[in-house]
Amino acid sequence: MSTRRLLVPALALLAACGASRLEPGTVAVGTWGGEEAGLLVRADGAHAHIGCTYGDVTGPIPFDADGRFDVAAQWNVTAFPIDRGVFHEARMSGRLSGRTLTFGARLTDTGQSLGPVTVTLGREPRMANCPICRTPKARSRIGAYSRPSVPIATTSRPVPARATSPRAPSRPRAASISPLERKRKRVASLRTRTKTAPLM
């Protein structure tokens, strides 16, 4: 009789444990939203927000029989107030329970932890200060710091001077003649014409 009393609770406990386990799979595609958190899952990846930080995951997010997952991500922790486009290598991990998912992120280079936050499938993210990005933004490079821009040195070539053709020498101006001298020359010219004219 005592053996049966002990066996029944044990069987009930095993049944409960078996019911809580999940069939391994991937996080469902769709919008998962919460307070200051969001997870936009696509077939080829996911885009996540924790407060004013955000990250991207490449490919589906697989979970085990306990609903736990741990995937590589790239995270931007300096997106607000000015997004400099600096991404860090990170791990995004969490646990799925039905239509509710809890996750957080940890930067692999600095050890900074973000979250955890809880989101629900089919609920819109409620972001107070930083609106969620519906599409991933372009990034300059992945690393802890952005590389400062280096000005490109330019060499200026001397501009050759335009060749100029030499000017022709100006003709000297005729000396000014007085009216009396002009009259004398005219009279002399008439006398010369009269002398050389043929006789009729």
pLDDT band at 1, cuts 50/70/90?
Answer: very low
Over the stretch 62-76, which tens digit does the pLDDT of each residue have?
A: 999 999 999 999 999
Backbone angles phi, psi at 20, to 5 degrees: -80, -15
3-state SS of 26-66? ECCCEEEEEECEEEEEECCEEEEEECCEEEEEECCCEECCC
Q: If DSSP codes are grouped into helix, strand and coil, which group holds residue 182?
A: helix
The residues with which 25 forms a beta bridge, in sequence order, are 63
- In terms of Cα–Cα distance, which of 107, 114, 115 is closest to 143? 107
Domain ranges for the chain: 22-133
What gap in Å lies between CA 83 and CA 138, rounded to an integer? 11
Sign for the pseudo-dihedral over CA of 16, 24, 29, 58 = positive
Over the stretch 112-134, which tens digit does the pLDDT of each residue have?
A: 999 999 999 999 999 988 887 76
Q: What is the pLDDT of residue 144?
A: 44
The residues with which 73 forms a beta bridge, in sequence order, are 90
Q: What is the DSSP letter of 144?
A: S
Does pLDDT of 14 surpass 50? Answer: no
Q: What is the pLDDT of residue 137?
A: 56
Residue position matching structure tokens 């969490």: 94
Does pLDDT of 7 surpass 50? Answer: no
Arithmetic mean of pLDDT, 168-177: 61
Tell how strand 25-26 and strand 30-34 pair up: unpaired
Which amino acid does the sequence have at 59?
A: G
Arithmetic mean of pLDDT, 192-197: 59
Arithmetic mean of pLDDT, 41-56: 95
pLDDT band at 53, cuts 50/70/90?
Answer: very high
Q: What is the DSSP string of 78-135?
A: --SSS---EEEEEEEEEEEETTEEEEEEEETTT--EEEEEEEEET---B-SSSPPPSS
Residue position matching structure tokens 């300059």: 140
Find all residues with CB under 8 Å of 79, minimum gap 6, and list them: 52, 53, 54, 130
Q: What is the pLDDT of residue 154?
A: 42
pLDDT band at 11, cuts 50/70/90?
Answer: very low
Q: What is the pLDDT of residue 129?
A: 81
